[in-house]
Amino acid sequence: MNYTAQDITNFFSTYQKHVTHAIVAHTNFHTFGLSNQAIDRAVIDARKELRYALNCFNKFLYPKHSNWPTRKPLLFRPLCFVTVEGARQTTDPAQTIHFNISLGNLPKAMPTTQIEICFRHAWHVKAQQSNDLFCEAISDYPCDSSRWFGYILKEARQDTRKAWTTNGTWDVENCWIPHEALAAD
Task: In whole angstroms, give the CA distance from residue 37 to residue 165.
Answer: 14
Residue 104 near residue 96, CB atoms below 8 Å: no
pLDDT at residue 141 in the model: 53
Phi, psi (degrees; rounded to nearest 5) at 80: -150, 120
What whole-number percentage of the chain has pLDDT above 70? Answer: 95
Closest CA to 77 of 99, 92, 57: 57
Q: How confident is the model at residue 149 (pLDDT cuts 50, 70, 90)?
A: confident
Residues near 157 by beta carbon (within 8 Å), at least 6 away in sequence: 5
Provide the mean pLDDT of the chain.
91
On the CB side of 171, CA atoms within 13 Å amount to 28
φ/ψ region of 41 (left if φ > 0, alpha if ψ in -120 to 50, else beta) reads alpha
Closest CA to 96 of 144, 50, 42: 42
For the chain, which residues make up each domain, given as ranges?
5-184
Task: In whole angstroms, give the CA distance from residue 94 to residue 28.
Answer: 10
- Span of 6-10, 20-24, 30-34, 141-145 with lowest mean pLDDT: 141-145
CA-CA distances (angstroms) from residue 55 to 5, 58, 101, 149, 150?
A: 27, 5, 14, 23, 26
**How far is CA 99 from its chain centroid?**
5
Q: How confident is the model at residue 11 (pLDDT cuts 50, 70, 90)?
A: very high
Q: Summarize pLDDT for 51-108 with one digit per residue, the tens.
A: 999 999 999 999 999 999 999 999 999 999 999 999 998 888 999 999 999 999 999 9
Task: In whole angstroms, give the CA distance from residue 98 to residue 142.
Answer: 20
